Amino acid sequence: MAINGVKDFDIKNLTSFKVGGKISEVFFPENIEEFTQILTENQDIKVFGNLSNTLISSFGYEGKIVLTTKMNSVKIDGSYVIADCGVKGPKLSQIASENSLSGFEFMIGFPGSIGGEVFMNASAHGQCISDKLVSVTCFSKAGKIVKFSKDEMGFEYRKSRCLADNLIVLQAEFELETKPQEEIKTKMAENLAFRKSHQPLLNLPNCGSIFKNPQNDSAGRLLDSTGAKNFTVGGARIWENHANFIVNDNNATSTDILQLMFKMYTKVKNKYNIELQPEIIFLGGTNEKENELWQTLIKPQK
């Protein structure tokens, strides 16, 4: 029997930017079987985890999406951890800590989910998701469930084979290290304190880092040198403590945020001839002005 989603779903409050209009249909699978059925029955459907690095158009999206927020199964077998794609990073970090397992301390402040973090090889504080990864179970564009070892995943900075091969992460298996719980908790506390001092908390709606770091440089440094911390467009502004973060300060629209991103991008391009690449994802399509802005931001670098 076909699985139905929720029609005309107002997505705004589920995004960490607190921006977005209505989605034609949203599915909320609770396990891998439901997830794969939805993917099989709905060709070209878009998949999201916790919407922590996604800007959704205020004009909405005339299509179907899957949110994996209800896929939150975690199994622990000794030092092995198997997590469904919808498990949130902080939750997995806490579970590992309670079992005296080290390797996920860096995720304590990440608002994202495991599927997205594997997809983009998330990293912080000298750790990354691929460090302890054993294998990833994915749904392929051919409609099959396939399993890849760590070596087959092609992990690089903010990249994996998921992007090139259009793979959707269903589940990931990790092998962690056993360490004293106090040592793990101390590291987690340090990471959380660092995040709080270097990134805006989610009570200031934001999407994390806006642009990727260019090779051997920092997007934040480049932006700061252009005076970006003073930039505002509509209800969106640059966070005063770090120039690579946009906060939704006053009911910002997606157009406000895209225009602010374009301003950031243009200032760095004009000063350094470096074209910053977005780290966030944009979901829209119905507004021509927004589409033009986004296409400029994501065009391939020369």
Q: 102, 209, 254, 290: which is the annotated catalytic residue?
A: 209
Query: pLDDT 10s per residue in the chain (302 long)?
Result: 889 999 999 999 999 999 999 999 999 999 999 999 999 999 889 999 989 899 999 999 999 999 999 999 999 999 999 999 999 999 999 999 999 999 999 999 887 899 999 998 988 888 899 999 999 999 998 999 999 999 999 999 888 999 889 999 999 999 999 999 999 999 999 999 988 888 887 679 999 999 999 999 999 999 999 999 999 999 999 999 999 999 999 999 999 999 999 999 999 999 999 999 999 999 999 999 999 999 999 986 55
Cα angle: 243, vertex 256, 22; to 5 degrees: 125
Q: Is 291 left (phi over 0), alpha (psi -120 to 50) or beta?
A: alpha
Question: Which H or E run contains 221?
Answer: helix 219-225
Distance CA 255, CA 244 (A): 18
HSE on the CB side for 65, CA within 13 Å? 22
In CATH terms, the fold of domain 201-298 is: 3.90.78
CATH 3.30.465.10 domain locations along the chain: 74-197
Told to judge if 158 belongs to the known catalytic residues of this protein, a careful annotator would answer: yes
Contact 178, 101 (CB under 8 A): yes
Domain spanning 74-197: which CATH class is it, in words?
alpha beta
As a whole number of Å, the CA-based R_g of the chain is 19
CATH 3.90.78.10 domain locations along the chain: 201-298
Told to judge if 221 belongs to the known catalytic residues of this protein, a careful annotator would answer: no
Quick one: CATH architecture of 6-67? 2-Layer Sandwich (3.30)
Told to judge if 197 belongs to the known catalytic residues of this protein, a careful annotator would answer: no
pTM for the predicted model, two decimal places: 0.91
Q: 158, 161, 195, 275: which is the annotated catalytic residue?
A: 158
